[in-house]
Structure formats: C-alpha cells, structure tokens
A and B are shown apart, each in its own frame.
Chain A
Amino acid sequence: MLKREGDIRIPAGCAISGVIDRSGKRMSGKCMIDSISTMHDRSNGLGGGFAGYGIYPDFKDFYALHLFYDNTAAQHETEEFLKRHFEIAYCSAIQTRKVASIKDEPIIFRYFVSPLPRKLESSQLDEEEYVARCVFRVNVEITGAYVFSSGKNMGIFKAVGFPEDVGRFYKLEEYEGYAWTCHGRYPTNTPGWWGGAHPFGLLDYSVVHNGEISSYDANRRYIEMFGYKCTLKTDTEVITYIFDYLLRKRKLTLQEAAKVVAASFWATIETKSEEEREQEVLLRRMFPSLLITGPFSIILGFEGGLMALNDRLKLRSMVCGEKGDKAYIASEECAIRVIEPELDKIYSPAGGEAVVYTLKNGGRRE
C-alpha cells in the first residue's frame, strides 16, 4: 500500500490555473489540460488535479462523492456506511484511460447521493453539515478509504503524476463545466499521495494552491476546534477548511474571508479610510488564528464562481485575464495566452487583493 500523506513528512513550487465562463456556457476540460501543460516545469510529477463546476447537470441535486479505495474491503465497509446514511441515486467506477506515467492507481468510485431524510432529521443538522460530517467519518474512521470530492454538480479529479497526464487519465475532455481549476504539484513537505494532490475540496468548495504556508499548525489547531479533521498534514487541506468555516458556517462574504486569511498589515490598515479600517480591524480581531502567513497563491472554486487570492506580501506569482464573459487566473501569463491569445485585459492583483469572478445569473454573494 502506498504511504499516505500523514505518514511521512519531508521538509512547494506549483502551478495553478483556472477559467470561468461568466455566461454559464460550459467548456470541456481540455482547455485546462492545455493551460496547465505550458507550466509543466513548475511541477515534478508528484501530483496533478482538476476541479470542474457544472459538470453533472443530470445529477445536480445530488452530492457527488468521489472516493479512492486501497482495496475492496475498504470499499465494502464504506458502501455499507453510505447506505446507512444516504440514498444512492447512482454509483459507478470513474472512467479512466491507461496513461503510461500514471501508476499504482487505487479503486476510484463515484456516488451520487442525498441524505436519508429520517437520518438527516434525527441528526438535527442542516444538510451540508450532515454531508460534511459523513465525509470526515469516512476519511478518519475507514482505513483505506478517502472521499476527495463531495460537492453538488462539481467534481474533483486528481492523481499522482503530471497534471496533463492526470487530465488524460480521467478523460476530462469528455466533461463540460462552466468553471475549471487545475493544479500541478511540486510537493515540498509530504511524499505525494493521490489524496494529497490538489484540488482539495469540501462540499462545493475547492482549493488549488501554490506556496507553503508557515501558519499551518496555528491554523490547524484553531480549525480542528470546529470539527474539521486535518488528516493529511498538507497546508492546502487546512486552507480549504478555513474557507468552508468562514463562508459556510460564519456566513462571511468572499471579500471578508479574504481579509481574514490575507489581512493587511497593521501599518497598512492605518492608512485606510475609517470604514475600511473598522472592518479590517474587526476581522483581524475576530479571527486572528485564521491569518495565513507565508507564500500562497490560491484559486478557490465554489458554486457559481472562482476567487483568486495572493498572500499579502505577494510571494507567489498570479495573473488574471479577461476576454468577454470568460475570465482566467494562472500562475503564469503563458498559461492563459495558450488558450486565449487575445485578451481584453490582463493584470496582476496586489498581495491580499481578492479577485472574484461569478456567474452573471445566479452567482453567489460577492
């Protein structure tokens, strides 16, 4: 069996890219494969992955659970658990093709589920919290099983390998979504296991990340107080849970959440208008343990949009481009130009400046 992320710690250059068609028109995953492959040299073959939004229109009301299993025993145990908690509308192995460089694949399954009404009611939880807790129970309690995607009408696909090979492995050219993100991994702290590749997801939130945060343990200790279980020792996992906590549980807006994790320096806050100052001081005081320090550039995917964010010192590169309804985010401009040579606009957001792109109709709160 492959060692899991949490089993080893080795003392991340990475590549990220994302695209959204704000008109809601869907595009095949091939554009993301083309985009990330221009940044091949930013990864080292130890992880690649994609998140697609709007890819399961026929099952859009069901949570799409993607699972890795080390063996059939883990699969049986997990399926028993799922049957006790969910109505399973459809389940099958996720279709893959043989790619020479992708080896040692686990069993990869997909389930479209909705919580059993009776169970949900007796749990006294809202539906999303119920699903999130079930995901954590599988990941923590069932050895050899790992839920790596759990949102509605979205899906994460990841593996150990170069991202362009991972995209071909999962046949992403056959999926169509209104938004995509992707990641090429160069792990610096952990060995590179299938579950540890990016994107990380919980419910419909997904995160791809280039960088290495130095506040990992402070963030982890705080977020674990609220029921999150950081099982993998990788910083991107904790970033995902921080956003889920701030956005879903505390109902912050995306811009407010960005001000928590990439808060301005006190010296910078002093120079701002009174209104901004009050808001930023309040957020820093409310969530001091969720400040993320160290280099990061991330793309947060959510139902209806994408958010790009750099650390406040801007220690990682990131550019944003726009062309008509389409918006692009990438570590390097070439990854945008390769799929859209002519852009209306291209710019680098400042450190800590969140850029939010949402669907024109039905996008979430900004």
Chain B
Amino acid sequence: MTITAGAELHFQKLNEAVRESRDTEITVDNCLGQRYIGAGLSGKTVTINGTPGNALGAYLDGAEIVVHGNAQDAMGDTMNAGSIVVYGNGGDAVGYAMRGGRIFIRGNAGYRVGIHMKAYKENKPVIVIGGRCGSFLGEYQAGGIIAVLGLGGEERPIVGNFCGTGMHGGEIYLRTDKLPPLLPKQVRAEKLDGIDGGEIADILRDYCKQFGLDEKEVLGHAFYKLTPDSENQYHRMYTNN
C-alpha cells in the first residue's frame, strides 16, 4: 500500500491507515512532518520518502522502518524491538530510553543520542550513526551498544561535549583517533586498533551491508571503546549490571 502524505494529511489519519492496512509492506510518499509514524507497530515494513515527524517509531515493537530522507527528533523513543534505517540524518534524542532493536543512521544525529538506553536479558538495543553526533551522547546510558563512525572527515570531533555523562552500563564505540573532549570521570576509554570480533563486529558488518560501505575501511580504523568505570560510584547506585 502507498500513502501520499503531503502537508495536508494529519498524522492521526496517516497512522490509522498504517495500523489498519492489511498489507505488510507500506510506503509513505512525500512525508512532511507527520508524527508518531509506526508507533508501537509490529509485523510490518514501512518505507518513508520525505521528512517524517517527531517520535518516528516510538515504542516500535518489531516492525521495520526505512527512511529515505532525514528524521526529526526523538526517533525510536522507548523502542522495544524491530529496526529503523535512515539514509539521511537523525535529530535530537535518537533512541531515547530504547530497550531493544536497532537504529542505523547513515548521516549525522543530534544531541542526547541514546539517552537512558537500557538492556535486559535478550533485549539489547543498538544505535549506529555513520557521521557525527552532538553533545551528551549516551547520557545516563544503562545498557546496549552505541557506535559513531565519523565517516566523511574528522576536522571536528565526531561527538560533541560531555559524552557518556552519567553512563553506568553498556558500551559506546567511537571510530576516531582522538578521544572526545570533556569526557566525564566515570567513563573508561580503551583504544582499539580496529574491530575484529564480537557483537560489535557483527553489528558493523550489517551496517556496512545495509549502506553498501567497505567493511575493511569501517572496521579496520582505530576506535575508542567507552564503558563505565567499574570503580565508579554510579556502578551499583542504580542497577546491578
């Protein structure tokens, strides 16, 4: 099913059509800011051409969303399972409080990516940003994996300030030779010559396949892996993980 959105179609009508469609493959053309697309959705694939509005894929529960364009703020808010692939940029607070599933963004993302992200047993959320992102990456992160690849140049740091503030679980991988400025004290940074195995390698290979990138170039570069320091005071303050 194809829905042509345009400026006039209200998000309520658009989302009703997506929910009630019997087709499992849905295309939204000329999307212009409609919010909450795919909220809580499972069992469908939604392809969006244009600019979806805020809270795209909020509470997503297994559906797949592909965006040809840029997404706005709070994409994948409290997402549970499924995937969101964005060929352009993401806005602020991508994957806010995300609990599972994957978000792949080819371009840049804004502030507070992965804020309050968490993992539990088999649920392990993943966010990969191809370009750069703003300050407060992984703020209060409690679990899951975030990777920022800095593809397309390193004239500026690939993440903004205060990366990992309040982080007490999970992992952040930064594909860079330079450690970002103003890292908080409770975050430990480990330099890696490249990624050659483990869960992060599988994730990055999938990412390269998705966007047609050269695996060697992406995985073979230097990375910094950030984790909360096991000695830090946050470790057992909130959760035992």
Chain B interface secondary structure, helix, strand, loop or mixed? loop
With A317-B91, A348-B134 as known contacts, state yes or no: A337 contacts B50, CB within 8 Å. yes
Q: Which residues of A contact B (CB under 8 A)?
A: 34, 37-39, 41, 267-268, 271, 313-314, 317, 332-335, 337-338, 346-348, 350-351
| Cα of A30 to Cα of B136 in the assembled complex, Å | 38
Q: Which one of B7, B70, B135 lies within 8 Å of A314 (CB-CB)? A: B135
| B108 / chain A contacts, CB cutoff of 8 Å | 347
Q: Which one of B33, B135, B181 lies within 8 Å of A351 (CB-CB)? A: B135
Most A C-beta atoms less than 10 A away, residue of B51, B72, B110:
B51
Cβ B182 vs Cβ A337 within 8 A: no
Chain A interface secondary structure, helix, strand, loop or mixed? loop
| A348 / chain B contacts, CB cutoff of 8 Å | 91-92, 110, 134
Cβ A351 vs Cβ B7 within 8 A: no
Nearest-CB distance from A166 to chain B (Å)?
A: 18
| B32 / chain A contacts, CB cutoff of 8 Å | 38, 334, 337-338
- B178-214 interface mask toward A, CB cutoff 8 Å, 1 = contact, 0 = none? 0001100000000000000000000000000000000
A41 nearest CB neighbor, chain B only: B35
| Cα of A39 to Cα of B70 in the assembled complex, Å | 16
| A333 / chain B contacts, CB cutoff of 8 Å | 33, 51, 70, 72, 91
| B50 / chain A contacts, CB cutoff of 8 Å | 337
Interface assignment of B141: CB less than 8 Å from any CB of chain A: no
Q: Give 17 A-B pairs besides A268-B161, A271-B182, A337-B33 with Cβ atoms closer than 8 angstroms.
A: A37-B7, A38-B7, A314-B110, A317-B73, A317-B91, A317-B92, A332-B33, A332-B53, A333-B33, A333-B51, A334-B32, A334-B33, A334-B53, A335-B33, A347-B108, A348-B91, A348-B92
| A335 / chain B contacts, CB cutoff of 8 Å | 33
Of the A-B pairs whose beta carbons lie under 8 Å apart in the complex, a sample of 21, sorted by A's number, is A38-B7, A39-B33, A267-B182, A268-B161, A268-B182, A271-B181, A314-B92, A317-B73, A317-B92, A332-B33, A332-B53, A332-B72, A332-B73, A333-B51, A335-B33, A337-B32, A337-B33, A338-B32, A348-B91, A350-B135, A350-B160
Most B C-beta atoms less than 10 A away, residue of A271, A334, A347, A350:
A334
Cβ B161 vs Cβ A38 within 8 A: no
Nearest-CB distance from B222 to chain A (Å)?
A: 22
B11 nearest CB neighbor, chain A only: A41
| A346 / chain B contacts, CB cutoff of 8 Å | 70, 89
Interface assignment of B54: CB less than 8 Å from any CB of chain A: yes
Q: Which residues of B contact A (CB under 8 A)?
A: 7, 11, 32-33, 35, 50-51, 53-54, 70, 72-73, 89, 91-92, 108, 110-111, 134-136, 160-161, 181-182
With A271-B181, A317-B72, A332-B72 as known contacts, state yes or no: A337 contacts B51, CB within 8 Å. yes
| Cα of A37 to Cα of B32 in the assembled complex, Å | 11
| Cα of A117 to Cα of B56 in the assembled complex, Å | 60
With A317-B92, A348-B110, A351-B111 as known contacts, state yes or no: A334 contacts B134, CB within 8 Å. no
| A314 / chain B contacts, CB cutoff of 8 Å | 92, 110-111, 134-135
| B136 / chain A contacts, CB cutoff of 8 Å | 313
| Cα of A332 to Cα of B70 in the assembled complex, Å | 11
Nearest-CB distance from B14 to chain A (Å)?
A: 13
| B73 / chain A contacts, CB cutoff of 8 Å | 317, 332
6 closest A-B pairs by beta carbon, nearest first, are: A334-B33, A314-B111, A334-B51, A334-B32, A38-B33, A338-B7
Q: Which one of B54, B110, B181 lies within 8 Å of A332 (CB-CB)? A: B54
Nearest-CB distance from B221 to chain A (Å)?
A: 24
Nearest-CB distance from B111 to chain A (Å)?
A: 5
| Cα of A334 to Cα of B5 in the assembled complex, Å | 12
A346 nearest CB neighbor, chain B only: B70
| B111 / chain A contacts, CB cutoff of 8 Å | 313-314, 351
B112 nearest CB neighbor, chain A only: A314
| Cα of A317 to Cα of B55 in the assembled complex, Å | 13
| Cα of A188 to Cα of B33 in the assembled complex, Å | 24
